[in-house]
Amino acid sequence: MRKVYRKKYGGDVWHWCENCSGWPKEDYTVRHYIPHNDKGCEECQKLDEEGKCQKKW
């Protein structure tokens, strides 16, 4: 399954868990990968590892 990453405009952290407290709901950019110089969200990573990352896609 392909991940979808969201980053809020002006931010530098990409989220892929809609359960994340930082999950952008508006004013965000969507990518299918994290650009080289940007970071993945630590909370999303944690939720993902715990299996709490629910994805609709």
Verify binding: residue 43, Zn ion, rule CB under 5 A.
Answer: yes
Query: Which of 1, 20 has the CB closer to Zn ion?
Result: 20
Strand bridging mode 5-8 / 28-31: antiparallel
Among 5, 7, 15, 24, binds Zn ion (CB under 5 A): 15
Residues 23-42, mask of contacts with Zn ion (x by CB under 5 A) = ------------------x-
Binding site for Zn ion (CB under 5 A): 15, 20, 22, 41, 43-44
